[in-house]
Structure formats: structure tokens, C-alpha cells
Amino acid sequence: MHIAIAGNIGAGKTTLTKLLAKHFKWEPHYEDVVDNPYLDDFYHQMERWSFNLQIYFLNSRFRQVQQIRESGKKIIQDRTIYEDAHIFAPNLYAMGLMTSRDFENYTSLFELMESLVKAPDLLIYLRSSIPNLVGQIHKRGREYENSISIDYLSRLNERYEAWIQTYTKGKLLIIDVDNINFVDNPEDLGDIISRIDAELNGLF
């Protein structure tokens, strides 16, 4: 079984992945931000490193999805392969931070990979406002994220909303995270768990 959590930078994907993995006894698969050799360079010089970073993420997540399917385990994944292709890469291209040549090359590679992977059994989308995202980003204090602009986050949020409206690859659960605190409030986490249970009971 494959569960995936999608959402903008600072929406709470990694934290919720940890909490749900612990509750359901699922194996968590996290986004590779610690060992990513491009991330720091990218945030300081986006135009130079955008293609390299997106290819790194695409490669990393394609491997992840293949491993998830081959393992036969119950796995929860922090961010999906679709977000790179439908949100981050097109956004960089639209902002003039990725060339047409690189974007077309990237898109072609993604389409090939997409034809070889299966969508998650359940996609959980964490919907958040920009002020909430900014607050969470500042709170966690990752140095390379300090230079992220509100304009950049807003553009990503618009693309997330457009993508999620057209998502039809599998079951989808949307959680509005602005007015809940699933870290410190057990009731909020319990509500999310109940909603996931309802979706999964409908699946199997």
C-alpha cells in the first residue's frame, strides 16, 4: 500500500508523515533534503541550478516509487513525483529560471517515468495559506529556505491548487492545515487519522 502526502513548502508534510507512520505502523519515505547536493546552490542561484535540482528530485522520487512498489510494504511518502513535474518545474520555467530547452527535456523525461509508475493508493493534500507557510518555514529555521520569497511561495500555491483540482489518478484527501495543529493537539491528529481510516476502508 502506498500513501503519499503532497503540499507546498512548509505545509507540514514531513511532520505529518512521521506522525502517521508512527500511528499506522507504516514505513516512512522522506524527501532527500539533507543529502541533496543542489539545494543550497539552487536557493542562492536559481537560474543556474534549476534544471540540475529538478533532475535530481525526479531521479530520487522515481527510484522511491519503484522501491515502494517492489517492497510490497505499507509505505507513506513525503511528497510525490507529480509535484516536481506539475508544480516546481513549470513554475521555474514560467519565472524564467529554466530555459525552454531544459524544460522540454525535463518534461519528456517525466512523461517516460510517469508511464512506468503507479499512482499512490491515497494522496493526502495539505492545503495552506501563504502566511501559514511563511510562519512554518521561519519556525523550522532551515538556512537554505531563508531566501524563499512570498512571490515564489504564492506562485507554487496557485499551481498546487490548479493541479489538485484536476487530480484523478487515485483517491484524494484534502486537509486544510491553516486552523489545525496536528503536532500539539491530539484531537486534530485524531480527526486526520479518522478521515484517512474512512478513505482506506473504502479502498480495501
107 is in an annotated binding site: no
10 among the known binding-site residues?
yes
Instruction: Tell me: is residue 70 an annotated ligand-binding position.
Output: no
Task: For residue 192, give the C-alpha cell.
Answer: 486526520
Task: Choose, from 40, 78, 102, 191, the residue flagged as catalytic.
Answer: 78
The reply to whether 140 sits in an annotated binding site is no
Any known ligand binding at 143?
no
In angstroms, the CA 180 to CA 55 distance is 34
Q: Which phi-psi region, left, alpha or beta, contains residue 10 (left: φ > 0; alpha: ψ -120 to 50)?
A: left
Rounded Cα distance, 147 and 140, in Å: 14
130 is in an annotated binding site: no
Confirm or deny that 15 is annotated as ligand binding: yes
Q: Quick one: which of 76, 70, 151 has its CA closest to 117?
A: 70
145 is in an annotated binding site: yes
Q: Residue 47, annotated ligand binder?
A: no
CA–CA distance, 120 with 179 (Å, rounded to integer): 27
Residue 12 annotated as lining a ligand binding site: yes
10 Å CB burial of residue 84 (0-12, 13-18, 19+) is: buried
C-alpha distances in Å from residue 169, one per residue of 93, 122, 164: 25, 9, 11
| Known active-site residue 32 | no
Q: Which residues are catalytic?
A: 78
The annotation places the binding site for ATP at: 7-15
The annotation places the binding site for substrate at: 31, 43, 54, 79, 84, 145
The annotation places the binding site at: 7-15, 31, 43, 54, 79, 84, 145
